[in-house]
Structure 1
Amino acid sequence: MTLTARLLPLLLLTAAAPAPEAAPPPAFFEALRTADLRLATIAYRLTTANAALCDRVQPQIGMPIHALTQYGPAARGPAATAFGFESLIGVEAVVAGAPADRAGIRANDSLAAIGDVALPGLPAADAPENAASRDIAEATIADATPSRPLRLTVLRQGRRQTIAVNPVTGCRSRFEILLGSGLDASADGSVVQIGERFFEGYTDAEIAVVVAHELAHNILRHRTRLDAVKINRGLLAELGRNGRLIRETEDQADLLGIYLLANAGYDPMSAPAFWRHKGGTVDGGLFRSRTHASSKARADTLDAVARTIAATPARPLIPPVVATRNEPLR
């Protein structure tokens, strides 16, 4: 994905887009950083507050990272300036109050090592564009022991230092902004992707409703369980057994999602309010897939659940649906 394709939707927040061959202005990069930090902050709240609901966990430190090779070769100079890259992997932002923040990690630090795993230096100017190095670094963090300090070697304005970060245990999942997809959202069992338009006109509480729904899919292993029974997600997705089982997983994700929100300190009533007031725009209204309930039906169902949750002060709440995650779909 070229830098222009990566940042063009987010540029609507800041200024007019340059020609594809032009060097992006600093506003491009700051718009991207702002959106990624919003998503990272929501994800950190949801994953750490709901660790008790997850049987797959990882260290959560509140530190979205990126690789210089995620940007097109022509844009790497401006990206390196905006994000302070001194190695291949940089710290894009830091979630306020999260372990990385408390340990003294800063936005624009660069990573030289994670524990004993050395990370590459700056790439060659003609290095191919991809996110593989970022994915490897994220996996290295995710595979660390949540109960032990995570040792990060950082480069900061030419100085090398080692910083110990005391992580918080959280649900295992990655989170990405899905560019060029409008208001789409998806989860594949490992990654939650949220369309870039949510970061243009939606509040963090509204985005959290969508993120919680997709995280619920990962917690409940819906992708794996649907694959196990050979569900067709293509042209036949809405028909017969395909439609019934996909609809079942969507209803379960709605249900678990509202518990994830409440456990993370969000108002559970934000979920029914979202579907009541914004759902038609998000799901296509009359043209929505019939694998999903209508926005009105979702709002009505979640309204009743939210009232029950609001009347129950104990946290975290663990609904019975969590126990189904290893059961075959039928």
Structure 2
Amino acid sequence: MDFMIRTWISLVALSFAAPLSAQEGPDDGVNADMILALKGLQLLDHRLNAIGYRLVDANAPYCDEKAARTGLLLNDVAQYVDQETARFALGFDGSIGITAVAPDSPAELAKLSPGDTLLAINTMPVGEIATDDPELSNQQPVYRRVAAINQLLEQALAEDKVELTISQGGISRTVAIGSVMTCPSQFQIRVSADRSASADGKLVSVTSRLAEYFLSDDEFAAVVAHELAHNLLKHRDRLDAEGVNRGFFGQFGNSAEKIKDSEIEADRLSVWLMANAGYDPQAAIGFWTRYGKEHGKGILSASTHYRWKKRVQLFEEEIAEMEAIRPVDGKYAPPLLAKTD
């Protein structure tokens, strides 16, 4: 099915998924164009949240570090200039709410839904959660509150089940939610006109324009798995320890070679991550062939990345190596990851 058709069908579905209180029609001053844009962004959030959760969950046995995950994606309307419109479009009663729930996650099992408003975690009102933790200092101020909430939620889940106070359509309820231990990483759609993706060691970001370019979730997963591989292999820490320059001069000499080595590793690991999560690793070949023919060298046309034909050859070699071994319980142990089980 054509992606734009799927998008409009999904937007309609999302509009009916919002609480009934948000279906009565916008008040004066609510921007209809912004509502449609936010619904489109929410659709991309749904896709990335589902793909990211599936990748970290399926590959958990091979990660040396793990994090408690629920499958929830939270959003803070304070990050939008027009908060009234954002609250209406997302269906929130308050400021912090659920944007997406990953399929087959503890959040789905707890019957949480997009549009639910988060009021408290274990009786702690979200408005009272401290945002001055030094670990949050690298976050932009508008994202700091939701980052603090996610941090508290993860810490609480690592100890036991958590009770969330939720509001939907003005009706409050308390929901017990568990978690699963997955590979560590979080995922976000970054609104941008550029087609790019990145990883900072903890977070995978995909721009909205690139997310709209994918023809399937398998293609989407190919790029997400590549960025996730950077995080799992701790490439940022390694490059920092080696004194690699990631700025302009990082495109030359020793720095460029070290960055390229990390890109090759991420490509190699990505197809294993995809296969273990049930995505078709051949989609990496299809995506980079299509993207390469249309845009040349790829997302980053720099000396630190292989040109697309060489990337495709690398994927083919890695897939052949993976298919030559026998999977255990339908999964392949990635050679680049330390196996913990």
Match of 1:45 in 2: 54
CA distance in 2: counterparts of 1:263 and 1:287, whole angstroms: 27
1:198 to 191, 199, 210: 210
Deviations 1:81-112 (A, max 9, x none): 22232232101122233221111111111111
Q: Is structure 2 residue 143 aligned with structure 1 residue 134?
A: no
Structure 1 segments of 4+ aligned residues over 4 angstroms from their partners: 280-283
Change in Cα spacing, 1:101 to 1:158, as seen in structure 2 (3 Å) is same
| 1:303-322 alignment runs, 5 A limit | 303-311=316-324, 312-314=326-328, 315-322=330-337
Secondary structure at the residue paired with 1:154?
strand
Unaligned runs of 5+ in 1: 1-9, 15-20, 122-127, 325-330
| Letter paired with 2:165 | T
Q: Is structure 2 residue 41 aligned with structure 1 residue 32?
A: yes
2:277 to 264, 276, 285: 264
CA distance in 2: counterparts of 1:195 and 1:85, whole angstroms: 24
CA distance in 1: counterparts of 2:295 and 2:231, whole angstroms: 20
Q: Once the 2 structures are TM-superposed, how far is the Cα of residue 116 of structure 1 from its aligned partner?
A: 4.6
Deviations 1:32-78 (A, max 9, x none): 11110011010011010011222232222222110010111xx1111
Change in Cα spacing, 1:90 to 1:237, as seen in structure 2 (3 Å) is same
8 Å CA contact 1:71–1:129 kept in 2: the answer is no
Match of 1:23 in 2: 31
Greater shift, 153-162 or 305-314, is seen at 305-314
Q: Once the 2 structures are TM-superposed, how far is the Cα of residue 132 of structure 1 from its aligned partner?
A: 1.4
1:224 to 227, 234, 237: 237
Q: Once the 2 structures are TM-superposed, how far is the Cα of residue 283 of structure 1 from its aligned partner?
A: 6.6
Change in Cα spacing, 1:195 to 1:286, as seen in structure 2 (3 Å) is closer
Q: Once the 2 structures are TM-superposed, how far is the Cα of residue 309 of structure 1 from its aligned partner?
A: 2.1
| Letter paired with 2:66 | V
Change in Cα spacing, 1:316 to 1:116, as seen in structure 2 (3 Å) is farther
1:245 to 255, 258, 279: 258
CA distance in 1: counterparts of 2:147 and 2:177, whole angstroms: 20
Report the RMSD for the aligned CA atoms in angstroms: 2.7
CA distance in 2: counterparts of 1:28 and 1:278, whole angstroms: 25
CA distance in 1: counterparts of 2:115 and 2:261, whole angstroms: 43
2:155 to 143, 159, 165: 143
Change in Cα spacing, 1:184 to 1:113, as seen in structure 2 (3 Å) is same
The sequence identity of aligned pairs, in percent, is 33
Kindly tell me the number of residue pairs found equivalent between the two proteins.
300
| Letter paired with 1:164 | A
Match of 1:328 in 2: none
| Letter paired with 1:87 | G
CA distance in 2: counterparts of 1:168 and 1:254, whole angstroms: 27
Q: Once the 2 structures are TM-superposed, how far is the Cα of residue 233 of structure 1 from its aligned partner?
A: 1.1
8 Å CA contact 1:154–1:160 kept in 2: the answer is yes
Greater percentage in helix: 2
Match of 1:155 in 2: 167
Unaligned runs of 5+ in 2: 1-6, 12-28, 129-139
**Alignment TM-score, normalising by the size of structure 2:** 0.80
Change in Cα spacing, 1:186 to 1:113, as seen in structure 2 (3 Å) is same
CA distance in 2: counterparts of 1:317 and 1:212, whole angstroms: 15
8 Å CA contact 1:58–1:143 kept in 2: the answer is no
Q: Is structure 2 residue 116 aligned with structure 1 residue 101?
A: no
**Alignment TM-score, normalising by the size of structure 1:** 0.83
1:210 to 223, 227, 234: 223
Q: Once the 2 structures are TM-superposed, how far is the Cα of residue 230 of structure 1 from its aligned partner?
A: 1.1
Q: Once the 2 structures are TM-superposed, how far is the Cα of residue 289 of structure 1 from its aligned partner?
A: 0.5
CA distance in 2: counterparts of 1:228 and 1:262, whole angstroms: 31
